[in-house]
Structure 1
Amino acid sequence: MRRLLVLGAGTAGTMVVNKLRRRLPSANWRITVVEPGDQHFYQPGYLFLPFGAYAPRQVVKPTRSLIAGGVELIRGEVDRVVPADGEVRLCDGRTLPYDYLVIATGVTPRPDQTPGMLDGGQWRKTIFDFYTYDGAVALADALDRFDGGRLVVHITDMPIKCPVAPLEFAFLVDDYFRQRGRRDRVELVYATPLPGAFTKPVASARLGTMLDERKIAVEPDFLVEQIKGKSLISYDEREIPFDLLVTVPLNMGADFVARSGLGNELNLVPVDRHTFRSKAYGNIFALGDAADLPTSKAGSVAHFAAEVFTGNFLEHIDGRPMTGSFDGHANCFVESGGGKALLIDFNYDTEPLPGTYPLPAVGPFRLLTEAPVNHWGKLAFRWMYWNLLLPGRPIPLPAHMSMAGKHLPAGKD
């Protein structure tokens, strides 16, 4: 009996075990997934909780209900991986052997890594996050009570889960206060460690213009050193006062990755960016946010990566070369308020470009253009997530990015 052990039953881990359970004969393969919690959260839904667009119950389901029959689910915290022995040790003393290991434990916001963020007495009082379920729920009450002043949307450092989410929050909070007649009493500031609104020039120019149109001030190249009182202080001694801070703390991988000697300084697992295979061990892979891939940490990446990984893994266990090559494909809907959104679609080599997706001319989605159809696409994704993506069912979208429907803006070649 060969043993596949998957650490983490989040987006990537759940998709992988469900896909492989159908492809690996149960007589020959034992598939086990380790997960500390008993609830699975639809993390893209966190963005909508502060604004009342989703009820909390709509973004959570029992983990066991999402895992295919025939997959063993173990509740437990991982203490460390011991590659030399081919085993994973849990914090309660249990030991789990493996022939192949997939690390899919994601990343976690770490407010403790910024002095004054968690230990200054303001957490969930004047400082909030929306990258956690509890934080997003608490922020809904804070926004409802906020009658005016300076609201700062802040990113500590990159990489983060869904890098466009802070921009979406800025657009949505602008719309939120406009609808309630309070926008003229609220000063909005967007503080980012990036030199602009986004990392890629074409998208950054479009998103930056949208911030200007909404009178959201941008503080670029802002690397926070500490939070002192009700001010963000950067390493170059700039200061941004706030009345309400909505921050994205430093995102880090699981601590066991560091204890196991498998990660970089952010506890992300170095892997081949095309095959997800560990650079240190031939029978260890990392998927989703847990890997150090140079692309977005987003659900779409986990989905496209899982498609490539499944075929590669089947080749690998048969002793054949892995022929699938992940190209870094990601696409993200960007909520912009007023019932509209943009869509961006890109990969390792091609930045987000204008056009239509997935079909040329027809779309129906519009790339780098605000449109109601994109907003409805984002809302429809929740149903797809629960009913198609997590179960590992086929979706008629290619895992690799296509240039069909895209065009270069004037002046680009």
Structure 2
Amino acid sequence: MKHLLILGGGTAGTITANKLRKKLSKAEWDITVVDRDDKHDYQPGYLFIPFGIYQPDEVTKSRRKYLSDDIPLIYAEIDRVDAEAKTVSLVDGRVLPYDQLVIATGVTPRPDQTPGMDDEGSWYDSVFDFYTHAGTTALAEKLKTWEGGRLVVNIVEMPIKCPVAPLEFTFLADAFFVEKGMRDKVEIVYVTPLDAAFTKPIAAKAFGTMLEDKGVRLEPEFMLERVDTEAKTLVSYDEREVPYDLLVTIPLNMGADFIARSGLGNELNLVPVDKQTLLSKKFDSIFVLGDANDIPASKAGSVAHFEIEGFVENFMEHIAGRSMTHKFDGHANCFIETGHGKAMLIDFNYDTEPMPGKFPVPGVGPMSLLKETKANHLGKLGFRWAYWNVLMPGRPMPISADLQMAGKKVPVA
């Protein structure tokens, strides 16, 4: 019997386990998933909690419920991977052997990596994140009674999970305060290490214009050095300062600490892999999926979904000793909430930036690319159902894993 061990029971780990269980012979391969608890959060839902659109208990379900019944789920903290011995040691002392390993442990916000950010008395009082269940829940309570002032939305450093989420939060905050009749009491500042509102020029221009139209000030190329919580000020490495009354930050995102202990990752605990096959650059028995790898693509649920479509076929070829023929192109597809019941949609990959058009049916839609529509907003809300009922069980989605150019309008240079 051969052993496939999957570290992480989130989006990438769950989809992978369920899809491979349907492919691999049960007489030849067992599949085991390891994660620290039984709480699987629908992380895109974190965005909506501060504004009362979702409640905290609406985004959490059981990991066990969404894994095939014949896949064991071990609840434990991971200590380290010994890639030479092909074992995984758990904190409780157990050692799990593997023939093939999939690392899908994602990334987490690390406020402790920025001086002052998580100071006692300020963290979850005047400084918040919305990338964790605790953070978004605390922020929801804060916004119920906040009377206004300067709201600063800050990205510490890229890459981060869902790179459009900070923009979405900003747009939703603008709409939230408009609908509460207090927008004139709130100054919103968007502070980013990028030189524009987004990484891709066409989308960056569209988002930048939207920020301007909503009266949001953009502070680009701001590399945060520390948070001065006494003065309520962000301080950059070039000594620029941005004061705040309420800070909503996206802390440095890092991979799991066991990656560092195992000597597998870079300075952010992300594992270097071939960007087309997701195979570790150092070990031919380790694949790294979802946010835990270092590929130059968005750390988003759609990327995990698209990369796994080809990975499953590659894995079957790999264990059969054949060359892997399915090349992941970096495809990402993201809804961007813009407030007041509308949203945008972007579709892009490693080499092609977002552009206007219709999606998923060329010329028909019903979704519009790089355009605010109600249909896109409904698509964003409807995705939660698809996440739990189609993606997690490993069922096919009617969207190509590779970027399709049909229906897109290529801008004239």
Shorter-chain TM-score above 0.5: yes
Give the secondary-structure state (helix, strand or coil) at the position aligned to 1:233.
Answer: strand
Cα distance, 1:139 vs structure 2: 0.5
Matches within 5 A, 1:23-38: 23-38=23-38
TM-score normalised by structure 2 residue count:
0.99
Give the secondary-structure state (helix, strand or coil) at the position aligned to 2:158.
Answer: coil
Cα distance, 1:266 vs structure 2: 0.2
Which residue of the partner structure matches residue 393 of structure 1? 395
CA distance in 2, matches of 1:120, 1:22: 49
CA distance in 1, matches of 2:173, 2:113: 26
Which residue of the partner structure matches residue 214 of structure 2? 214
Q: Which of 278, 281, 284 lines up with 2:280 in the alignment?
A: 278
Which residue of the partner structure matches residue 316 of structure 1? 318
Give the secondary-structure state (helix, strand or coil) at the position aligned to 2:338.
Answer: strand
Matches within 5 A, 1:149-188: 149-188=149-188
Which residue of the partner structure matches residue 111 of structure 1? 111
Matches within 5 A, 1:12-411: 12-119=12-119, 121-228=121-228, 229=230, 230-409=232-411, 411=412
CA distance in 2, matches of 1:165, 1:49: 13
CA distance in 2, matches of 1:359, 1:129: 36
Q: Deviations over 1:156-215 (max 9, x none)?
A: 000000000000000000000000000000000000000000001100000000000000
Cα distance, 1:131 vs structure 2: 0.1
Give the secondary-structure state (helix, strand or coil) at the position aligned to 1:157.
Answer: coil
- 8 Å CA contact retained: 1:278, 1:285: yes
Cα distance, 1:120 vs structure 2: 5.2
Q: Deviations over 1:121-161 (max 9, x none)?
A: 30000000000011111101111111111000000000000
CA distance in 1, matches of 2:186, 2:144: 13
Give the secondary-structure state (helix, strand or coil) at the position aligned to 1:282.
Answer: coil
Give the secondary-structure state (helix, strand or coil) at the position aligned to 1:189.
Answer: strand
Q: Deviations over 1:84-114 (max 9, x none)?
A: 1110000111000000000000000000000
Q: Structure 1 residues 18 and 324 mapped into 2: Cα distance closer, same or farther (>3 Å)?
A: same
Moved over 4 A (4+): none
Give the secondary-structure state (helix, strand or coil) at the position aligned to 1:358.
Answer: strand
The amino acid that maps onto 2:410 is L
CA distance in 2, matches of 1:185, 1:58: 31
CA distance in 1, matches of 2:86, 2:317: 21
Cα distance, 1:290 vs structure 2: 0.1
Give the secondary-structure state (helix, strand or coil) at the position aligned to 1:350.
Answer: coil
CA distance in 1, matches of 2:106, 2:114: 20
Give the secondary-structure state (helix, strand or coil) at the position aligned to 1:292.
Answer: coil
Cα distance, 1:119 vs structure 2: 2.4
The amino acid that maps onto 1:317 is I
The amino acid that maps onto 1:392 is G
Q: Deviations over 1:383-410 (max 9, x none)?
A: 000000010001111100000111123x
Is there any run of 5+ residues in structure 1 with no aligned partner, and where? none
CA distance in 2, matches of 1:4, 1:90: 16
CA distance in 2, matches of 1:218, 1:146: 22
CA distance in 1, matches of 2:209, 2:143: 25
CA distance in 2, matches of 1:83, 1:203: 41
- 8 Å CA contact retained: 1:202, 1:353: yes
TM-score normalised by structure 1 residue count:
0.99
Cα distance, 1:28 vs structure 2: 1.0
- 8 Å CA contact retained: 1:26, 1:70: no
Give the secondary-structure state (helix, strand or coil) at the position aligned to 1:118.
Answer: coil
Cα distance, 1:25 vs structure 2: 1.4
Seq. identity, %: 62
CA distance in 2, matches of 1:383, 1:125: 33
Is there any run of 5+ residues in structure 2 with no aligned partner, and where? none
- 8 Å CA contact retained: 1:160, 1:297: yes
CA distance in 2, matches of 1:256, 1:402: 37
CA distance in 2, matches of 1:202, 1:383: 30
Structure 1 vs Structure 2 CA RMSD: 0.7
CA distance in 1, matches of 2:398, 2:314: 20
